[in-house]
């Protein structure tokens, strides 16, 4: 059994000690609802129905008797949102903290390895919740069932499906980013994505559209704004609470540094990504709301260990064509 938390202290003179443990901040990731529309209650599959707009159904009236149809109707189509079973299972023995300052966390006697209700359990729950949320976001972003990497091959996520959507003519893709971004490249790609977007996306209110980009693209864009005396004033605003908000032609640009971290962690080829879309077109199915970070924790008398378990089902699908433009390096 491998402990979820081990102790590896490196000092010869203890000096002053504390039971507090600082958790190194991880790369922040948005909540799933910030990028996706979430549908709950899906145990296996859900069919997402949609239809295209009717067009050219009005004709001249010849004032004759009888009637003939004046246009072609539309079909109700569907995309399948399928959820995949996912799990987390970790174990922890109190012995891992023995003979260290952290044995102060342990209970006494026969309950020594029962960590429930202790600071050790609180630390473990915090670490698991943060890791589980980060995993879920990474899997939804870069999941690929064709990958040999067991950390992301549970389901096909956002970028895998969008790349397939380019081939199916559901998703538009503009020219590749260079492997190393040159000055002004993010601004040029954003202009290209904006101006080549389908009318269906372009006609939506600015508040309903988003640019989602890696940090590399975001920083390159902001550098372009800073290089123009009025650019920063026009495109970078400050919320009342002091949070910087960057926009391009009125559309918010959202920096997803977790994408950069995940691309490096999973050794994926692409390093720069841009997604211009509306979040309502991207759907995540989860069997039960919040299950992706809702851990069940218990102490087992059978093997004298504390168990942590998370089980849930999750999947991703986009609703319809005509609402997504991507740019990345390299292209598919």
DSSP-derived letter for residue 112 is T
Supply the pLDDT for residue 238. 52
CA 76 from centroid of its chain's CA atoms: 29
In tens, the pLDDT along 35-54 reads 888 888 888 988 888 777 78
- 231 or 270, which is more confident? 270
Please, what is the average pLDDT of the chain? 85
Supply the pLDDT for residue 229. 53
Q: Which domain holds residue 238?
A: 32-50+75-329
Whether 60 maps to a domain, the answer reads no
**Residue 218 in contact with residue 186, Cβ under 8 Å?**
yes
Q: Which residues contact 12 (CB under 8 A, 6 or more apart)?
A: none
Whether 61 maps to a domain, the answer reads no
- The Cα–Cα gap between 162 and 319 comes to 11
Whether 18 maps to a domain, the answer reads no
Whether 1 maps to a domain, the answer reads no
Supply the pLDDT for residue 289. 80
- 247 or 73, which is more confident? 247
Comparing CA positions, the residue from 154, 142, 136 lying closest to residue 270 is 142
CATH of the domain at 218: 3.90.1690
Domain count of the fold of the chain: 1
Percent with pLDDT over 90 in the chain: 48
- Pairing type for strands 45-51 and 272-277 reads unpaired
Q: Which residue matches tokens 């003179």?
A: 13
- The Cα–Cα gap between 115 and 306 comes to 7
In tens, the pLDDT along 102-144 reads 888 888 888 989 999 999 899 889 899 889 999 999 999 999 9
Percent with pLDDT over 70 in the chain: 86
Give 13's pLDDT tier (boundaries 50, 70, 90). Answer: very low
Give 14's pLDDT tier (boundaries 50, 70, 90). Answer: low
Work out the angle at residue 203's Cα, subtended by the Cα atoms of residues 198 and 206, and round it to the nearest 5 degrees: 110
**Residue 56 in contact with residue 84, Cβ under 8 Å?**
no
Whether 5 maps to a domain, the answer reads no
Whether 26 maps to a domain, the answer reads no
- The Cα–Cα gap between 165 and 127 comes to 36
- The Cα–Cα gap between 281 and 279 comes to 5
Whether 27 maps to a domain, the answer reads no
Supply the pLDDT for residue 241. 55
181, pLDDT greater than 60:
yes
- 135 or 7, which is more confident? 135
């Amino acid at each position: 059994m491998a402990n979820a938390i081990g102790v590896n202290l490196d000092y010869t003179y203890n000096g002053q000690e504390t039971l507090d443990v600082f958790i190194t901040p991880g790369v922040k990731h948005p909540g799933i609802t910030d990028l996706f529309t979430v549908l709950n209650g899906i145990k296996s599959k859900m069919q997402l129905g949609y239809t295209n707009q009717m067009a050219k159904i009005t004709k001249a009236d010849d004032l004759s008797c009888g009637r003939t149809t004046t246009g072609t109707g539309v079909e109700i189509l569907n995309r399948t949102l399928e959820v995949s079973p996912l799990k987390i299972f970790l174990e922890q023995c109190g012995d891992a903290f023995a003979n260290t300052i952290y044995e102060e966390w342990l209970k006494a006697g026969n309950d020594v390895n029962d960590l429930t209700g202790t600071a050790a359990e609180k630390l473990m729950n915090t670490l698991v919740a943060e890791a589980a949320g980060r995993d879920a976001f990474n899997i939804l972003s870069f999941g690929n069932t064709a990958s040999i990497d067991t950390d992301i091959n549970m389901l096909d996520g956002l970028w895998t499906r969008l790349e397939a959507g380019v081939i199916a003519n559901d998703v538009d893709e503009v020219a590749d980013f260079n492997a190393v971004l040159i000055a002004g490249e993010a601004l040029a790609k954003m202009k290209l994505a904006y101006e080549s977007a389908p009318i269906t996306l372009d006609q939506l209110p600015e508040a309903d559209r988003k640019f989602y980009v890696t940090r590399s693209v975001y920083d390159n864009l902001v550098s372009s704004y800073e290089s123009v005396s009025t650019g920063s004033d026009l495109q970078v605003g400050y919320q009342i609470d002091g949070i910087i908000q960057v926009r391009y032609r009125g559309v918010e640009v959202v920096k997803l540094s977790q994408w950069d971290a995940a691309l490096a962690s999973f050794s994926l080829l692409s390093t720069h990504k841009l997604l211009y879309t509306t979040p309502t077109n991207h759907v995540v199915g989860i069997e039960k709301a919040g299950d992706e970070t809702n851990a069940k924790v218990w102490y087992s008398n059978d093997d004298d260990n504390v168990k942590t378990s998370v089980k849930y089902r999750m999947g991703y699908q986009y609703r319809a064509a005509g609402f997504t433009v991507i740019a990345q390096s390299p292209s598919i």
